[in-house]
Amino acid sequence: MKISRLAVVVIASLLALLFLWLGFWQLSRLRVRQTANASLAARAVAPPSTISQLPTDTAGAHYRRVSLAGTYDYPNEIVLTLRSRDGSPGVNIVTPARLAGTDTAVLVVRGWVYSPNGMSVDLTRWREGPQLNGHGFVETYPPPRQGANASPTQSNAYRWLDRATLEQRFHYPLKPYYVVLTSPPADTTKDTPPRLNVPPMDEGPHKSYALQWFSFAAISIIGTILFLRRK
């Protein structure tokens, strides 16, 4: 069955319009992502506030700088496994900090240390004293995941932070967010885990998707022109 030139032009035009719309839609999503990233980046460099000043909405607290004062609960310290840094295997040290005047604690990511197997480390070497006085930025807990979180061989090792699981382990409530410590210790002569930085803002795949849809639109138009010239 032969397809008329008019039908080819109509189909190709509709496809090109659809691809162009999808490309511009991806660009609009990119602009939304860039605006959100700019807001987060501004929070990360703003003057620190206190825990009590943080908004109750965890999304509104994300990446805000915060000052902390409390007591470390080293017996309940855990590590996040398989955390690489500059190509080296290691772990992130996570220590609960009991806040004064409340039964609620906040998890504090104190930094990264080298671990040959990315699972275990001598935590006693990296203790900074009983009191926490510093500042960092707020991170939100990841959404629920499938699979095993706790290590089968290391009792204090986890693949990711799960608030409900850790509250059962610690037997006290946790803040709905955790804090990544950035300030250096008061006593710099002690062994201190290297602090973590604010992660780079990812713009996602929207730009590449937009280019892909625009390419499809160009192919539809050019292919139609070549088809008609051949006819």
The model's pLDDT over 92-146, given as tens digits with 9 standing for 90+, comes to 999 999 988 888 899 999 999 999 998 889 998 898 888 888 888 988 898 888 8
Could you give the CA distance from residue 16 to residue 218 in angstroms, rounded to a whole number?
A: 7
Q: Are strands 177-181 and 105-114 parallel, antiparallel or unpaired?
A: parallel
**Tokens for 19?**
């691809």
Residues 112 and 160: their CA atoms lie apart, in Å, by: 14
Helix (H/G/I), strand (E/B), else coil: 130: coil
How far apart CA 161 and CA 179 sit, in angstroms, is 12
Three-state secondary structure call for residue 180? strand
How many angstroms separate the CA atoms of 133 and 130, rounded? 10
Hey, which bits of the chain come out as E strands? 49-50, 65-72, 78-80, 90-99, 105-114, 131-140, 157-158, 177-181
Tokens of 46: 């703003």
Q: Which tokens is 164 given?
A: 């409900």
Q: What is the pLDDT of residues 152-205, one digit of tens each?
A: 888 899 999 999 999 999 999 999 999 999 877 655 556 788 888 877 778 888
Residue 59 has pLDDT above 80, yes or no: no
Q: Which H helix or E strand runs over 58?
A: helix 58-61
Nearest residue to 19 via CA among 212, 226, 224: 212
Query: What does the buried/exposed string (b/e) look like for 84-112 if buried means 16 or more CB atoms within 10 Å of the residue's CB?
Result: eeeeeebbbbbbbbbbeeeeebbbbbbbb
- Rounded CA-CA distance 160/131 in Å is 25
Q: How far apart are CA 16 and CA 220, in angstroms?
A: 6
pLDDT, tens digit (0-9, with 9 covering 90-100), for 154-165: 889 999 999 999
pTM of the model: 0.76
Distance, in Å, from the CA atom of 136 to the CA atom of 69, rounded to the nearest integer, reads: 11
Q: What is the pLDDT of residue 187?
A: 53
